[in-house]
Structure 1
Amino acid sequence: MPTKFLESFGSKLAEKWVATLLTPAFVFWLGGAAAGLQRFGWKSASTWFSQQPEPLQIALLIGVLCVIAASAFVVQRFDLPVLRFLEGYWHPWLRPLRRCLIALEAKRSQRISTRWQTLKRIDPSQRNAEQRDELVQLDWQQLHLPLEKQLMPTRLGNILRAAEQRPLEKYGLDTIVCWSRLWLILPDAVKKDLQEARADLNTASRFWLWSLLFFIFWTFLAWWAAPVGIFSAIFAYNWALDAARNYGELIEATFDMHRHLLYQSLRWNLPPDPNEERRVGQQLTEYLWRGWG
């Protein structure tokens, strides 16, 4: 193979967009190639490839790169549907499973709340270090749980649902309605932090999809594809949980620090009293959604 082609290929792989977009796809196809070679034999494939003329070898390698790039592009289009699935927005025929999982999440929420109340009743001077750490952990877990009637069937869904609810609870501003308007007037530095956090969440959901595809497509070729796919899917889901917490906290902080920009742009006065602000915030949400306050 010509040296110039190898140098060009190496320089392109070093580019940032290749590293972020194509790496999961490359690993997926590399794993498939390894599983296929294990199933059908490496020697016959390498012998066949070495017997081909050099132009055909280059064409085959370019074709492989095109397949990897195309598959990466296609899978990236599913970032939002996969994320919505992981949140628990499922087809109606999965409602029985959804109700069952929501009931389990409700029990988990109740256990956390009961234990938190038990520890909270202990006099602070009487709590030991372990109890203090547990109280902080339980408080943090409650922060990422929505109201009981708003529970989702998955932990990821509950983390994001809780983040959506907090601006409504504190300021009367519905996140879903107000976010697109607020986004347009945010400072560039805030937008950058939010975009990076959302990109991290999207990457985690994309990695989860690649893991699922790895399990589905390559398990019949090699037994080790099953544990690899399952392990990577679990890793990706936990990655998504951490990314969702970070993203949700940034959304809440954005409303905390920059909601006044929304009022100013719409020429609404921001009430100084928190109770009054919730009422006015509900009116503002109604105005943005339906056109009247």
Structure 2
Amino acid sequence: MSAVLAELGRQLAGRWAALLLLPGALYMCTASVAVLLGQGDALGFGRLGGWLDSVAAAPASGRFGTVLIAAAGFTAASAAAGAAASGAAQLVERVWWASGEEPLLRLLTARRSRAWERAEEDVRAALREFTASGGAPRQARALRAAIVRRDAICPEPASRPTWVGDRMYAVDQRVHEGYHLDLTAAWPRLWLVMPDAARAELVAARTGCGAAARLAGWGLLYVPLTALWWPAVVLAAGVLVAARHRARLAAAVQADLVEAAVDLYGRDLVVRLGIDCPGRLTPEAGDAANSLLRKDRTDLSRFGG
């Protein structure tokens, strides 16, 4: 037992260092540079060398106690920055998965909805041209490009303030349209039906979304430094762009895996619920499952419930 606890402690320490301490140390170094250089001499890195020389020449720098206190303070500040980034990451995830009821988020939702409708109009126009041309290659390419632009916003009509939220909500809509299954109510039971390998893939995808949110949290933490040191704009923008890219990749993988899980194991779920489903999962079986899962006879999912 002692060996197990020791190994667990080492793993937790390594994870803590990777997720919080090391990025926090980088952030604290950047914040120190921002304070020392400021906006007036933002690229005067020669001043940093002089400051380090003055610190090294100070009498207190040769004392072990001083060095130990400074190291402990730097470590504590790095951990605090990591905790702040984790808090920002939770806020980012709340926005990603939000339904868009809040006033500001409603504006974002309306903006995305208008963009999707314009893209859908382009698809319809391209489809009319493709049909009128008798399937000419040029019109076919234009139609494919219009579909790609529309699906880049959302595969279904946009109804969430962010791409990530829309991508997952589209899965819910597609599952309901195809099987009449309320994915929100069915998912905990479906999770228990799935084999370990499938669950491991879904956990990995969800972990990727969490990692992207943490990266976005660090990006938000760099934004205030731009008021002190303008090169921090490059750092903040680079981190946020990378977080956006990683979030879209991870959310797309997670959405595809969730939909695949319903396709592959949805019938197993309804059978385990005692519903007769001799072949593929049908809308009738999905309606029957909804009544059991919700413990009532009303399928509220079609009304957005």
Q: Do they fold alike, i.e. is TM over 0.5?
A: yes
Task: Identify the match of residue 291 of structure 2 among 262, 282, 286.
Answer: 286
1:176 aligned residue: 184
Contact 1:120 1:135 in 2 (8 A): no
1:30–1:147 CA distance, 2 compared to 1 (3 A)? same
1:26–1:139 CA distance, 2 compared to 1 (3 A)? same
Contact 1:186 1:258 in 2 (8 A): yes
1:33 aligned residue: 32
Task: Identify the match of residue 271 of structure 2 among 243, 261, 264.
Answer: 264
Count, aligned residues:
273
Task: Identify the match of residue 230 of structure 1 among 237, 241, 253.
Answer: 237
1:290–1:47 CA distance, 2 compared to 1 (3 A)? farther
1:54 aligned residue: 64
The within-5 A match list for 1:234-245 is: 234-245=241-252
Partner SS state of residue 290, structure 1 = coil
Counterpart check, 1:131 vs 2:142: yes
Once superposed, what is the RMSD of the aligned Cα atoms? 3.2
1:168–1:269 CA distance, 2 compared to 1 (3 A)? same
Q: CA deviation at 1:279?
A: 3.1
Percent identical pairs in the alignment equals: 23
1:55–1:248 CA distance, 2 compared to 1 (3 A)? same
| CA distance in 1 between partners of 2:21 and 2:275 (Å) | 46
2:92 aligned residue: 82
**Structure 1 regions of 5+ residues with no counterpart?**
1-10
| CA distance in 2 between partners of 1:153 and 1:140 (Å) | 16
| CA distance in 2 between partners of 1:271 and 1:118 (Å) | 42
Partner SS state of residue 25, structure 1 = helix
Structure 1 range deviating more: 44-53 or 222-231: 44-53
Deviation per CA, 1:110-135, whole angstroms, max 9, x where unpaired? 22222222333415741237426415
Structure 1 range deviating more: 253-262 or 118-127: 118-127
Q: CA deviation at 1:162?
A: 0.9
**Structure 2 regions of 5+ residues with no counterpart?**
1-9, 42-46, 299-305
1:193 aligned residue: 201
2:303 aligned residue: none
| CA distance in 1 between partners of 2:18 and 2:227 (Å) | 29
| CA distance in 1 between partners of 2:53 and 2:291 (Å) | 66
Deviation per CA, 1:7-62, whole angstroms, max 9, x where unpaired? xxxx99x9566335544433322321222332496344653366331243134324
Partner SS state of residue 114, structure 2 = helix
Partner SS state of residue 146, structure 1 = coil
Deviation per CA, 1:226-258, whole angstroms, max 9, x where unpaired? 342134223312321222112111111111111
Partner SS state of residue 160, structure 2 = coil
Structure 1-normalised TM-score? 0.78
1:118 aligned residue: 125
| CA distance in 2 between partners of 1:85 and 1:71 (Å) | 21
Structure 2-normalised TM-score? 0.75
Partner SS state of residue 173, structure 1 = coil
Structure 1 range deviating more: 121-130 or 40-49: 40-49
